[in-house]
Chains A and B, each alone.
Chain A
Amino acid sequence: MAADGADANAGESVDEAARADGGGDALLAVEGLTTVFHTDKETIRAVDDVTFSVEEGETLGIVGESGSGKSVTARSILGLIDSPGVIESGSIRFRGDELTGDNWDAHRGDISIVFQDPSNSLNPVYTVGNQIRETLRIHQGLRGQEAREEAVRLLESVGIPDARRRVTEYPHQFSGGMRQRAVIAVALACDPDLLVCDEPTTALDVTIQAQILELLDDLQEREDLAIVFITHDMGVIEETADRVNVMYAGEMVESAPVGELFDRPQHPYTRGLLASIPGRTVSGDRLPTIGGEVPTPTAEATDCRFADRCPEAFDACERVHPEPVRVGPDHTAACLLHEEGYDHDLDSEARPAGEPPDGDAVADGGDRA
C-alpha cells in the first residue's frame, strides 16, 4: 500500500534537542544522510553523505541513473529502510523534528509515498475503497459512512469519474493510469504535507503520464503539497520540478533550480546525461555518450566517483574527493573544476586531443565481472 500501514502513535518521542535547534524553515531538511547495506561480501554505501532540503509547496526533483541511490533516499525519508540496510549517519528533520533514530511515528501520515508500479502498490483482494478507508481509519480516525464519503471524495479529487461506483471495484478492474490515480488517492488519505513520488509515471504510457503529471500539479496547488519527485527521465523532471538534485553513485553531484540546471549544467556528469538524451541532438548525428557504468560505492569516497568516466577529469580527480561548491546563486556542483587551486587546464589539454573519453562501444563491453 502506498501509505505505510503502521499504527499512528501520537508522537511524544520527538527528539527534544532537534526541536530546540528549530532546523530552519524547511519542511524537510536532510543533512549528511548516509544509508548503507551490509552484505556478506561488502558494505554498499547506497546513499553517501547527502544533504538537501524541501520547502513547503515546493517540488524537488531527484534525478539519476539506476544505482545512483535515488530510491534509497526516498525510502530513507520515509523510514522504510529494512535490514540489511541501515541509516548509518546523518539527520532527517521534518518541521524541525528529527526522524532518524526511529522517530518516524511522530510524523506518520505527514509524509506519504507513491511507488513506481501501481499494480504492486494495491492489494488485489480488497476493493479500492477498502484500501482508502483503511488509511483514513488509521491516520484520520474516520469510520463508517464518514469514511465512505471521504473515500469517494478522494477518488473524485484524483480525477476518477463515476467515483461512487469505482470505489466498490477491485484494482484489476482499473486501468494502469486509473490504478496510479487510486494509489495517489490512498497516499492522500492520510492528509500529508509531503508526497514522495518514486518514479510514479515510469510504468505508464506517455499520454497517461501526462494525465498523472497534470494531476500532481493540480493537487499541489490545491492542497499546498510539497513533492519530492524521483525519476530518471530528464524531460519529466524539467516539467515537474522547481529544483533538481542530480545523484551519482550515492552522492548529490549537482543541485540547482530547474531552468538553471538545464541551461547551465556545471557538473560534467549532468552535461553528459543531458547530451545523451535522444531528441536533444539533431537526428542523424551520433548521440554523445558517457563511457562505463555507474560504480557501486563500497568505501568512503577518497576521489571523484565519476573521474574514470569523466571527459574533463585531471590528475587531482583521482586523489581528492570533491565537495559541493557554489557555482551560482542557489546552484552547487561537486566537481574540482569549480574549485580554486587545481591546475586542471594544463592537465586536461595533456589528454590526447580528439580522443573520445569512452571509446564508445568498447567501453560498455569492458570487463566488469
Chain B
Amino acid sequence: MSRNDASTASETATESEASGSGGATAEAADSTVSADDPLVEVRDLRKYYDDDGFLGDDPVKAVDGVSFDIRRGETLGLVGESGCGKTTLGRTILGLEDATGGEVVSDGRDVARLSGTQLREWQRDAQMVFQDPEASLNDRMTVGEIVREPLDAHDWETASERRRRVFELLDLVGLNEEHYYRYPHQFSGGQRQRVGIARALALEPEFIVLDEPVSALDVSVQARVINLLEDLQEELGLTYLFIAHDLSVVRHIADRVAVMYLGDIVELGDTETVYGDPAHPYTLSLLSAIPGSHTGTDRDRVTLRGTPPSPRDPPQGCRFATRCPAKVRPDEFDDLSGTAWERIDALHTVLRERANTETGLTERLKRRLGLAADASDIDEVVADLFERDPDVAGDGSARNDLLTESARSAIEDAVQFARRGEDEEATAVLRETFGSVCNHERPERHAVGDDGRVSACVRHTDEYEDPRSVVDRRFADD
C-alpha cells in the first residue's frame, strides 16, 4: 500500500521537475532569477540575544544571516530541529522581535525598521498563529472578544461592523454563531486552533506566519485543520510561512521548503524536489530520520550523532561540520577507515562537550585544587575508542591498526592537553589536524538542479564529490 503511494509520489515529483525546468527557461527569457513576485524579501537577517551576563558571554545567535524570499500566494515550509531558530525567524520577520541586523522588505518597506503608522499597517498585513492553542487564547475572554480584539485594537470600522465581521470569521473557520459567547476552555484543541486562525484573519492580512499550528493536535484533528488552512489560502489568496518540525505535514502543505540549522537556512527549494532528492547533507539526514515507510524515500537511515551545538558558540566554518556525515576529510588521512573517523569524531565530540560544560564554582574550585577526579578520565575514553574493540571482547591489541602514525601522534597531543584539563586546546589540536575546508569556511549557497534550489555545502562545487554519493559510500563502509 505504502509502496504504491511512494511510487505515485515520485511520479508526481518527476512531473513537477519537468514542469519546473520548463518554467526555468521561461524565466530565463524574463531575465530575472525569480519571475515570481516576492511578498517578503529577507536579507541577511540577524537576531542575537545577549543576556548581558556579568561574565560577558557571547550572544546567542538565534538567527544569523538568513536570506530568502517568500513569494506571493505560496506556502513556504520552514523545518529544522528545536532550537535552530525557526520561531525566532518567524517572529523577527513579523517585527515581534527587534532584528539585530539585516532587513525584511515588503512592498518597498523595510518592515524590520518600521514605526508608527507604517508599523501598524504591517501588523495588519502580517499575522501569526501560535503553536499552543491552550496558551495563546485568553481564558477570561469569550471567543467573540478574542476574535474581535485585533479589530478593536486597530479601530476597525464601527462596533456593529466589528461584530458582524466576527460572526463572518467564525463561519469562515467552521465555527458558528453560538460559539461567540463561549470561553476557550469549553472548546477542544482543534476548535481552539480555529479560534486562533479566525483571530489572525480578522484584519484581512496577506501574510500569515503559522508557528507549528498543528503540532499539539491529534492526527485526525490535525488533518482537518490542515484542510482548513489550505481552503482559506485558496479563498483569500493568503501567503503562508509554515513553521513545523513535523516533516510529513510540511511535505503535504508547502510549495517550497527551507531547511534551517543553527540559525541559518542550509537548503531551500521546491518541496517535492527537496524531499525526493535532498541536496544538503543535513536535509538528507533529517529526512532519513522520519519514521515509517510512507516517507517515499527508500534510502538507508543516516543517524546523526549528538545534538546541535549551542547557538552561543556555533562551530567556525560550516555549522553542520560537527555532525556532518559528508564532511570533507583532509587528503593526508585518506587511508583512515570509516571506523577510525567515527572514533576520532567521537573523541572530538567528547572534548568539545567538556570544553563547553558550564562548570559551577565548586567544580572550578575543585579543579584548581586538583581535587577534580575527572581530568584523567580522558585516558579511559581514549582506550575505549582506540584500543579496545567492543566487538572483539577482551582483545586489547585488536585495534592497533586503526590509526596511522600521524593520526596517532595528533591524538596523543590532544590527550596531553585534556589530561591537564585544557579541553579548549585539546579540541583545537583535533580541529587543526583533522579539520578541513568545512571547519574554516562558511559554505556559500550553490544552485542545485535547474529549478531554483539552493544548498549551502562546499560539496556542490566541482572540486569535491557530491554529498549524496559520499554519504552512500561512507554508510556502505560500515
Interface residues of A in 24-73 (CB under 8 A from B): 65-66
The interface residues of chain B, by DSSP majority, are classed as helix
CB of A287 within 8 A of CB of B354, answer no
Chain B residue with Cβ nearest A309: B220
CB distance from A130 to the nearest CB of B (A): 16
Contact of B251 with A279 in the complex, beta carbons under 8 Å: yes
The distance from the CB of A119 to the nearest CB of chain B, in whole angstroms, is: 13
Asked if A206 and B245 sit within 8 Å, CB to CB, the answer is: yes
Please give the number of chain B residues whose Cβ is less than 8 angstroms from any Cβ of chain A in the complex: 71
Interface size on A, residues (CB 8 A): 58
Query: What residue of chain A has the Cβ atom nearest to residue B385's Cβ?
Result: A161
Query: Does the CB pair A365–B179 fall under 8 Å?
Result: yes
Given known pairs A173-B358, A277-B248, A283-B272, the reply for A361 and B218 (CB within 8 Å) is no
- Closest-CB distance, A263 to chain B (whole angstroms): 6
List B contacts of A169 (CB < 8 A).
357
Nearest A residue to B249 via CB reads A278
Q: Are A364 and B5 in contact (CB under 8 A)?
A: no
Residue of A nearest to B186 (CB): A369
A127 to B78: give the CA distance in the assembly, Å. 37
Contacts known (A205-B81, A235-B294); A361 close to B251, Cβ less than 8 A: no
Which of A76-84, A174-182, A189-197, A334-342 is the contact stretch?
Answer: A174-182
Quick one: closest B residue to A172, CB to CB?
Answer: B358
Contact A272 B220 (CB under 8 A): yes
Given contacts A205-B82, A207-B285, A287-B252, contact A162 B350 (CB under 8 A): yes
Partner of A210, one of B289, B293, B354: B289
Q: In the assembled complex, which residues on chain A have CB atoms less than 8 Å from the CB atom of B220?
A: 65, 272-273, 276, 289-290
Whole-angstrom distance between the Cβ of A304 and the nearest chain B Cβ: 17
Q: Contacting chain A: which of B101-109, B226-234, B448-456?
A: B226-234
Q: Which of B126-134, B374-382, B394-402, B403-411 contacts A (4 or more CB under 8 A)?
A: B374-382
CB-CB under 8 A from B293, the residues of chain A are 238, 262
Whether B289 and A263, one on each chain, are in contact in the complex, defined by CB atoms closer than 8 angstroms, is no
A175: nearest residue on chain B (CB-CB)? B307
The answer to whether B219 and A162 have CB atoms under 8 Å apart is no
Interface pair A208/B307, CB less than 8 Å apart: yes
- What sequence of 0s and 1s flags, for each residue 222-249 of chain B, a beta carbon within 8 Å of any chain A beta carbon? 1111111011000000000000011111
- The answer, yes or no, to whether B25 is at the interface (CB within 8 Å) is no
Given contacts A210-B301, A278-B253, A287-B226, contact A365 B381 (CB under 8 A): no
Contact partners of B291 in chain A: CB under 8 A? 206, 209-210, 213, 233, 235-236, 238-239
Q: Which of B227, B285, B304 contacts A361 (CB 8 A)?
A: B227
The CA of A280 and the CA of B225, in the complex, are separated in Å by 17
Inside 8 A of B179's CB, which chain A residues have their CB?
365
User: Residue B349 at the A interface, CB < 8 A?
Assistant: yes
- Partner-contacting stretch, out of B47-55, B59-67, B187-195, B328-336: B187-195
Q: Do B8 and A162 have beta carbons less than 8 Å apart?
A: no
Judged by a CB distance under 8 angstroms, whether B292 is at the interface is yes
Cβ–Cβ contact B223 & A276, under 8 A: yes
Residue contact A278 to B251, C-beta cutoff 8 Å:
yes
Shortest CB-to-CB span from B321 to chain A, Å, is: 16
B139 at the interface (CB under 8 A from A): no
Query: A211 at the A/B interface (Cβ < 8 Å)?
Result: yes
A207 touches B9 (CB 8 A): no
0 or 1 for each of A129-148: is its CB under 8 Å from B? (1 = yes): 00000000000000000000
A169 to B149, CA, bound (A): 48
CB distance from A125 to the nearest CB of B (A): 13
A8 CB within 8 Å of chain B? no
Taking the complex as formed, is A308 at the interface, i.e. its CB lies under 8 A from any CB of chain B? no
For A173, A211, A287, the residue with the greatest tally of chain B CB atoms inside 10 Å of its CB is: A287
Given A161-B349, A233-B291, A234-B219, decide whether A206 and B247 contact each other with a Cβ distance below 8 A.
Answer: yes
Q: Which residues of A contact B296 (CB under 8 A)?
A: 279
A362 touches which of B174, B230, B288 (Cβ 8 Å): B174
Tell me, rounded to whole Å, the shortest Cβ–Cβ distance linking A243 to chain B: 16
Q: Which residues of B are found within 8 Å of A207, using beta-carbon distances?
A: 81, 285-286, 289, 303-304
Query: Which chain B residues in 207-228 approach chain A with CB under 8 Å?
Result: 218-228
CB pair A368 B381 closer than 8 Å: no
CA distance A267 to B3 in the complex (A): 21
- In the bound assembly, the distance between CA atoms of A319 and B305 in angstroms comes to 54
Check if B123 is an interface residue, CB within 8 A of chain A.
Answer: no
Please indicate the chain B residues that have their CB under 8 angstroms from the CB of A175 in the complex. Answer: 307
Q: Are B285 and A281 in contact (CB under 8 A)?
A: no
The 10 lowest CB-CB distance pairs between A and B, nearest first, are: A235-B292, A361-B174, A279-B248, A278-B252, A276-B223, A235-B291, A287-B223, A210-B289, A369-B186, A65-B218
Q: Can you report 9 residue pairs joining A to B where beta carbons are below 8 Å apart?
A: A65-B220, A161-B346, A161-B350, A164-B374, A208-B307, A211-B303, A279-B295, A367-B178, A368-B188
